[in-house]
Chain A
Amino acid sequence: MKKQIKNTQDVSRKDALKKIGNYGKYTTLTAIGTYLILNPQKAQATSPAGPGTGF
């Protein structure tokens, strides 16, 4: 059965900030500290599905 999640409580931005209290300001650090490292292929490659790969 599909799980139903019902939001019974509307939380204003003000209340939310109050709830997380002093921790809220650290979310800025988490946001700017989130980054992605992309690795290009280290050598030229054909698609792994190329001829020969299944032998």
Chain B
Amino acid sequence: MKKNSDFLYKNLEDKTIAWSESSNKYLILENTTALIFKKLNTGVSIIEIASELSKELSLPINKTTDFVTNLKQEINTLKTEKDASVLKKDTNINKPEKFEFIKYYKINELVFKVEFHSEFELYLVHPKFEHLEIEEINIHAHTFTIFCEADFIYFYIENNFIGAWNKNEIHFFQGKFSMELIQKIHQKEEKEWMGVFHASAVSNGKKAVLFLGDSGNGKSTSLALLQANGFTCLADDFVPIDIYNKEVYSFPASISIKKNSLDTLLPLYPELENSAEYHFKRLNKVVRYLKPNNLDFLSHLPCKDLVFIKYEKNSDLKFDKIAKIEAFKQLVPDSWLSPIKENSQIFLDWFASLNCYQITYSENKEMIATVAKIFNDEL
């Protein structure tokens, strides 16, 4: 009986991507190396592969044996690696009796009650969801509970322990909170997602385009500009994609606007003038939150285009199609991708079908016109 392989393979341009199930890692290999990888994984001996390679490349057998042995070791390392869990076991923690802040958030018709032990916990979540807050009501679908104990943040839903994170891993707690929220909104389990992307998703009502870029490149500012020019913000910072229809699902959080974008955005969003300002001293950032213009948080749309966007002062508009393999290298380390084998195959196939672009701009109008062309397939 043929052993079920630990690896998946996908050709992308002139390379092969291999995915390791044990470690949930993606390797970008030369096609020849990928063939050796496949042979090693189907039990062909090192000697046999090394002697074939030696003939093929006219190299001494000891050199090709070293080469194949090193690859075999790499495979063994990948197969034995285990994920370090960020979750800590619920070790006899007593939930606080009193919660200083209790908030209710309405997302479409669903009401979430969230209990925050103190102001510290409140600030981890509330600013991004404040626009969804409603008055206290008796009927709510879910209760989320958040409190700190020693150096850990604890998260419960309906009194069930979800996880605990060290205070220096707050973005993983916030990620889990966001994940649980979208799973309740869209009624899906974790295994039903292809991945969550660190991007902004914009829609024209028919399809979505994903915008990526390093922090500080102007992703959120571009998103705010686009939503003021007829497009809809589907998701900012946290973009979930479904495994069955491969569509981008909406995420209701606000768009975070950095202080240096205010001059650009104030004429379009006068409400930013008086909105609360949050100072993140450690990151040296001052942020305000802008409500997304999306009216239906149940919406989901197909996505065929990935755009790396960058604002660069005084730059002429540069717009190019980029190599998918380069886009892949930038996308993967920043994303959560489902560790399930079938899902990983779907992700690889989906990625191979995308168009990847890069926009560098300084004139907002030019950027908006270019994005409109992407939406209208006018390229």
Chain A contacts for B123, CB-based, 8 A? 51-52, 55
Q: Tell whether B113 is near chain A: CB-to-CB under 8 Å.
A: no
Q: Tell whether B156 is near chain A: CB-to-CB under 8 Å.
A: no
Question: Within the assembled complex, what's the spacing in Å between the Cα atoms of A35 and B256?
Answer: 36
Chain A contacts for B195, CB-based, 8 A? 40
Please, how many residues of chain B have a CB less than 8 angstroms from a CB on the other chain? 58
Q: Tell whether B185 is near chain A: CB-to-CB under 8 Å.
A: no
Q: Tell whether B99 is near chain A: CB-to-CB under 8 Å.
A: no
Q: Are A35 and B178 in contact (CB under 8 A)?
A: no
Task: Select B26's contact among A37, A46, A48, beta carbons within 8 Å.
Answer: A37
Q: Are A36 and B336 in contact (CB under 8 A)?
A: no
Q: Tell whether B245 is near chain A: CB-to-CB under 8 Å.
A: no
CB-based nearest B residue for A44: B175
Q: Tell whether B323 is near chain A: CB-to-CB under 8 Å.
A: no
Question: Within the assembled complex, what's the spacing in Å between the Cα atoms of A11 and B334?
Answer: 43
Q: Are B26 and A43 in contact (CB under 8 A)?
A: no
List residues of B (257-308) whose CB comes within 8 Å of A's CBs: 278-283, 285, 287
Binds A, one of B6-14, B59-67, B103-111, B369-377: B59-67
List residues of A (2-55) whose CB comes within 8 Å of B's CBs: 25-26, 28-29, 31-55
Chain B contacts for A29, CB-based, 8 A? 57, 59, 63-64, 67
Question: Within the assembled complex, what's the spacing in Å between the Cα atoms of A44 and B123?
Answer: 19
Question: Within the assembled complex, what's the spacing in Å between the Cα atoms of A42 and B67?
Answer: 30
**Interchain Cβ contacts under 8 Å between A and B, 28 examples:** A25-B57, A32-B30, A32-B32, A34-B30, A35-B29, A35-B33, A37-B25, A38-B25, A38-B26, A38-B333, A39-B333, A40-B25, A40-B335, A42-B84, A42-B336, A43-B86, A43-B336, A44-B175, A44-B179, A45-B336, A46-B178, A47-B215, A48-B215, A49-B287, A50-B237, A51-B278, A51-B287, A53-B283
